[in-house]
Structure 1
């Protein structure tokens, strides 16, 4: 049973406030923290900590086995702690009154942007910690959004055309791996440039060559986001698995942002052109500067060669930034509210519960 300490009921929850809600890498995060009490209480110290880190957690193991859930990787970009109050007597008296502490913390120039996903996050937050003897420690934490700086004008390939070629073998009956092959489908994909920002239209065109014995009746195009969460490798017994992303144990979270379907009749030995367009929605920009979490985007094209056939789709990678190529009528994109990472409540310990994120550029 927790003891009742005189004056503790007079304690008000501390609060944190930032001067603004969105910052850029290299900027100084500024704000204030405060607390009020109507009676004297006891406290050993009051500290303000600024932390920026990536954390991911996901299940490993097959359905038949017990899946292990927990933190798989963590990368700290910045961590600074300041003691803002210390007792002036041996009784550790925290006198009644109103307290306010202003703080400022500098962001690293190369830190990745804020991100909240189903299996991990990149989060920057300020924690106000009060060490109260014989009582649960009192903490209040508030996250701040760090926006990316991906200026497409500074990336040489962003304005250049991009293309890819794929010769995909068609297998008959996916459930029978020993069944004979049924030919191939050759994809040619191209886009006028590599880099885009939210609000811009991605155009992907090309051609599909049907080298099978059956007609192709459907072409399906998807705009996809792929988030890769990597496990942090520590200890002598952990080795890279080349079958996973970049040789790490990892979990991929694939989200289809938009799907388009075109009905067609591509007969055997025929080649048919196609063109699809997608408007980039408000999404977080491409993230490639984190060891734990990567965010990529692509447009995939898939030709339906018939029931029970197995065929690989073709994917054309694109780069999503937040400063458009000049000249452009679009302004630099800002963060927008998005969906919370619901799985944090279910799969992870309370220490890793999610916060409402900003999903955007």
Structure 2
């Protein structure tokens, strides 16, 4: 056999929940192959797994109580998509797959409540098509190829996504000998963003200390939460364990000087990278926050910090056009072609058919941050202000068994206009500092 490969119809192998997954299996061989059947399967699901060392106690032969350490493995699985079909079967009893190029189209339905493709340190959400050629008296030939699933998370229908956020803090710098009060007020124009968008961070500084302010820096963190159980039932409360992970996905820094007993303003810009949108499913949750720090020249206690929660979606917030101005034309993002009618007839060999089996999905929570459902409608995503490209996740490449290296792809909008920062800080009397917002 010269080649066995899986090809998806969707550009970049990206699909949306509720959209049929279509493509073809191509087998190229110069001579006939002894084989009984070709099976095509589809699978998608979430999986978490990790081990922890836990202290246990036992009683020895003398009745003394002693402690020991045991490695306990925690795992959980949620299946969203399963299906299989026999694409070709030897009908004449000769068990021969003809020589040449044999093409087997396939089409599988996908449920509307699929969470996005995701790769994490203690779990993942993966979707793939697997093909297996049964060969008598030989190892079966197998191949697997993953595809990306991107839910339609529309920030325009998320109530809190458009809300501006302001947070402030102050600190009497210095350790033993206090050098004076430094105040920082940080403003973000909204809470919801998409990958590729520029996030402006407006920082107003009032320095009433004896030390200058020397730099401001910000960091965007991905917060992943994994859930698993030691037993076989996830619904047994005392068996459920949790694991958290924090990963920096973007940073920005700017050096500048605010002299003692003066004020200043600085605007940091941070580009949202290609990352998975915020989501929640029964065993994995992902959300984001951004922290902003201010550094003074004081050796001890010279750093101030505030934090904000962020929502990452896949459909950007539409900006209102100025009065009298024409609204920009809406562009539909590129999606995969419509699936062919069922059954799909395979080409290259006699009468191969691929029937999609009914997907099995548990009653998972399809609700994202802000109470917005993922994949509420079947079909392409709603119109956006600019067409996205699909870029590989910054989380790296994963090697799945019988598969080529794979990294999930997420929509990235590179043509969005930068959101305007809040009005500049006006010198004069210091504005009243708002109370610190908790989150």
Note if 1:93 corresponds to 2:87.
no
Note if 1:336 corresponds to 2:336.
no
Name the residue aligned to 1:280: 271
> 2:9·2:22 contact (CA, 8 Å) conserved in 1?
yes
CA distance in structure 1 between the partners assigned to 2:74 and 2:403 by the alignment: 9
Name the residue aligned to 1:6: none
CA distance in structure 2 between the partners assigned to 1:75 and 1:141 by the alignment: 20
Note if 1:224 corresponds to 2:224.
no
Name the residue aligned to 2:116: 113
CA distance in structure 2 between the partners assigned to 1:215 and 1:281 by the alignment: 33
Counterpart mapping for 1:172-187 below 5 A: 187=184
1:161 corresponds to which of 161, 164, 179: 164
CA distance in structure 2 between the partners assigned to 1:118 and 1:353 by the alignment: 20
Q: How many residues align?
A: 326
1:192 corresponds to which of 183, 189, 192: 189
Note if 1:52 corresponds to 2:52.
no
Name the residue aligned to 1:150: 153
> 2:217·2:294 contact (CA, 8 Å) conserved in 1?
no
Name the residue aligned to 1:176: none
> 2:291·2:305 contact (CA, 8 Å) conserved in 1?
yes
> 1:189·1:316 contact (CA, 8 Å) conserved in 2?
no
Deviation at 1:352, TM superposition (A): 9.2
Which structure has more RCO (C-alpha within 8 Å, separation ≥ 6)? 2
CA distance in structure 1 between the partners assigned to 2:401 and 2:164 by the alignment: 46
Deviation at 1:351, TM superposition (A): 7.5
- With over 3 angstroms needed to count, the CA separation of the structure-2 counterparts of 1:107 and 1:258, relative to structure 1, is same
> When the two structures are superposed, what TM-score results if normalisation uses the length of structure 2?
0.60
CA distance in structure 2 between the partners assigned to 1:30 and 1:285 by the alignment: 23
Bigger Rg, structure 1 or 2: 2
Unaligned stretches of 5+ residues in structure 1: 1-10, 173-178, 242-247
Unaligned stretches of 5+ residues in structure 2: 55-68, 321-327, 329-384, 413-439
Name the residue aligned to 2:287: 296
Counterpart mapping for 1:322-361 below 5 A: 322-327=314-319, 330-339=385-394, 341=396, 344=398, 354-361=405-412
Aligned CA RMSD, in angstroms, stands at: 4.2
Deviation at 1:226, TM superposition (A): 0.9
> 1:111·1:289 contact (CA, 8 Å) conserved in 2?
no
> 1:189·1:205 contact (CA, 8 Å) conserved in 2?
yes
CA distance in structure 1 between the partners assigned to 2:293 and 2:217 by the alignment: 6
CA distance in structure 1 between the partners assigned to 2:49 and 2:302 by the alignment: 32
